[in-house]
Amino acid sequence: MASTRRATAQDLPFMIHVLRLAAGGSKGPLSLESCRQNPEISRYLDRWSPEQIGLICADQGSDIGAAWLTELPADEPGYGFVAPSIPELTIGIAPHFQGAGHGGYLLASLLDAASRAGVRSISLSVSDDNQAAIAMYQRAGFASVGRREAATVMLRVA
């Protein structure tokens, strides 16, 4: 049975791994160097701190996924940028744990934490070829609000 806990500074190495997975999409994880050299990717962790919303998902004692929100300024937007006051979601589950409902569980847990913290709107970007994720986001109340390259920008307003 999976569980979630609040992310801490000690979780940053694992969150970097999750970011590499999320940024690489269906092509596989990006290298750490690629993530660090691309400011549109690296800012998702560079601007995150443990005071912000972040969760680690674990199953059978092992960390298997992470999700966090990052607010980005208009002059340094991310892939799913909608507005400076709307945080962007980063989420990922280790490949061998995907397809078992862990992503939906982690997303629901993060949305609950965001709601309790007073966060009403959340945006994200999802690759067009990730139909399973798009369906998961739609079930959670996200709707398409734009496009960027081969990805859909989605927004959820509570």
Can you tell me whether residue 77 is helix, strand or coil?
coil
Q: What is the Cα–Cα distance from 157 to 125, expressed in whole angstroms? A: 15
Picking from 8-17, 34-43, 120-129, which range would have the lowest pLDDT averaged per residue? 34-43
Q: What is the pLDDT of residues 74-120, one digit of tens each?
A: 999 989 999 999 999 999 999 889 889 999 999 999 999 999 999 99
Q: pLDDT by residue (tens digit) across 98-111?
A: 889 999 999 999 99
Structural contact between residues 29 and 21, judged by C-beta atoms closer than 8 angstroms: yes
Of 136, 54, 25, the closest CA to residue 35 belongs to 25
- Structural domains of the chain sorted by starting position, each given as residue range(s) with its CATH number in brackets: 2-157 (3.40.630.30)
Q: Enter the tokens of residue 113.
A: 């934490």
Provide DSSP, 1-46. -EEEEE--GGGHHHHHHHHHHHHHGGG-PPPHHHHHH-HHHHHHHH
pTM: 0.93
